[in-house]
Chain A
Amino acid sequence: MSAKVTFNSDRCKGCELCTTVCPKHIVAIDTTVINRKGYHPATVTDISQCIACASCAKICPDSIITVEKF
């Protein structure tokens, strides 16, 4: 199984809640990027480890994360 996690990064507010719930610890804040709102957005560091549990998407207050598996 492989997974795809899409972030609507321009709407991310960098709250980091998604980074606390990932069982694989692969969701992190990307400090090399500043988005349209002026925040460092969240990203997935190693998509090969993703199990598509969608925990990050469920806790995202701004509903900017879409999770797919195939």
Chain B
Amino acid sequence: MAIVYEKSKGLTDAELHYCPGCHHGIIHKLVAESLVELGLLDEAIGVCPVGCSVFAFNYFSCDMQEAAHGRAPAVATGIKRTHPTQAVFTYQGDGDLASIGAAEIVHAAMRGEKFTTIFVNNAIYGMTGGQMAPTTLIGQRATTCQSGRTVEQAGMPIRMAELLSTLDGCVYAERVCVTDIANINKAKRAIKKAFEKQMNREGFTFIEVLSTCPTNWGMTPLKANAWLKENMAAYYPLGVIKDSSAEVK
């Protein structure tokens, strides 16, 4: 008998606190599997955000550090500079990274800090109860824009992968989603590539993962998956946004 698939050794046995159908669990295990397969798990150090994934340190079996809201890139900068040979990653949501932590992520990317950021974009503030985020789509309803977000009041949603890709220090930016097996495989390849580039000391690497929030979107997990593919993927195009090594070739 051969085991085809089992829970990754990069994850602890703790039960995830996430809502049914939340993509955080899928993204957690893709990061964990990538670290295991690249042989980086034992020495890897992750930095957690504030938001739904604030307890991620309970779920990864590598060393983890909690950071103040939005400041994970600043903490990861210090960790990576003092442990330059170890894999370092931040795991951040859109409220954490694109809103209160916008300055930290932009400047970490500008400096070309050699860590990897996993950015989980679910277009809403999840933990605090479904408020409008910088990534909320036009027309999307949230508790602080009950008739839907408007351009006049809140502007257009921010595309972080494109924004960071304009900085020379950011060597790799890709946007993926995990709604089905093909996209899960693509997402895992992207995460592994980002870690490989980090370990080659090429520069800052950024993976944006589009995610659902069934609870705050007010949908079943399956409807949320369909909504993501139809609406989010239309505004946030999937694929490689920047790959410096490809440009050199």
Q: What is the interface of chain A, defined by CB distance below 8 A to chain B?
A: 3-4, 11, 13-17, 20-21, 39, 52-55, 57-70
Q: Which residues of A contact B23 (CB under 8 A)?
A: 61
Interface size on B, residues (CB 8 A): 30
CA distance A70 to B16 in the complex (A): 30
CA distance A66 to B1 in the complex (A): 12
CA distance A64 to B180 in the complex (A): 17
A-B contact count (CB 8 A): 79
Q: Which residues of B contact A3 (CB under 8 A)?
A: 4
The answer to whether A13 and B21 touch across the interface, beta carbons within 8 angstroms, is yes
Given contacts A15-B221, A16-B21, A17-B21, contact A62 B184 (CB under 8 A): no
CA distance A58 to B8 in the complex (A): 10
Residue B20 CB within 8 A of the other chain: yes
Q: What is the interface of chain B, defined by CB distance below 8 A to chain A?
A: 1-8, 11, 15-16, 18-26, 29, 178, 180-181, 184, 214, 220-222, 225
The answer to whether A57 and B5 touch across the interface, beta carbons within 8 angstroms, is yes
CA distance A23 to B1 in the complex (A): 22
Given contacts A15-B221, A55-B181, contact A69 B1 (CB under 8 A): yes
The answer to whether B5 and A65 touch across the interface, beta carbons within 8 angstroms, is yes
The answer to whether A67 and B4 touch across the interface, beta carbons within 8 angstroms, is yes
The answer to whether B180 and A21 touch across the interface, beta carbons within 8 angstroms, is yes
Q: Which of A53, A57, A62 contacts B16 (CB 8 A)?
A: A62
Closest 10 CB pairs of A and B: A61-B25, A15-B21, A54-B5, A13-B20, A70-B1, A15-B20, A63-B7, A57-B5, A67-B4, A15-B221
